[in-house]
Amino acid sequence: SQQGEEDPQALSIQEGENATMNCSYKTSINNLQWYRQNSGRGLVHLILIRSNEREKHSGRLRVTLDTSKKSSSLLITASRAADTASYFCATDPLNDYKLSFGAGTTVTVRA
């Protein structure tokens, strides 16, 4: 079973708008990571946030982490057509060597 659950499953926005997706998880984590996947290809790492961090930025990406609620959010600002992809959160548990992935959010950016 998957550790993370993502919401929404799909998102369609206009170019220039912001996209927000959420991830909830169940167990204690070392860190939480976000990945992007374009159309059935490999995953690309976007950002890693450690369990003792609350917010992190990377370019147009902003990630928050609330360990008390076991949830995270990914915000993509000023979206572009090239942001069209599936986005996955992955939790890195405290006492394990695997990443557990959520089901993903499919984002479509309309020109």
Partner 1 sequence: KAGVTQTPRYLIKTRGQQVTLSCSPISGHRSVSWYQQTPGQGLQFLFEYFSETQRNKGNFPGRFSGRQFSNSRSEMNVSTLELGDSALYLCASSLKGDRGANTEAFFGQGTRLTVV
Least gap, CB of 27 to partner 1 (angstroms): 13
- 91 token code pair: 């939790």
Torsion of CA 90, 92, 49, 5, to 10 degrees: 30
- The binding site for partner 1 (CB under 8 A) comprises 2, 30-31, 33, 35, 40-45, 48, 50, 88, 90, 92, 94-104
Q: Which is nearer to partner 1, 90 or 107 (CB)?
A: 90
Report yes or no: 65 and 55 within 8 Å, Cβ to Cβ. Answer: yes
Q: Which is nearer to partner 1, 98 or 110 (CB)?
A: 98
Least gap, CB of 62 to partner 1 (angstroms): 18
Least gap, CB of 105 to partner 1 (angstroms): 12
Q: Which is nearer to partner 1, 17 or 64 (CB)?
A: 64
Q: Which is nearer to partner 1, 20 or 106 (CB)?
A: 106
Give the three-state DSSP class for 82. helix
- 12 token code pair: 């369609």
Rounded Cα distance, 85 and 43, in Å: 10
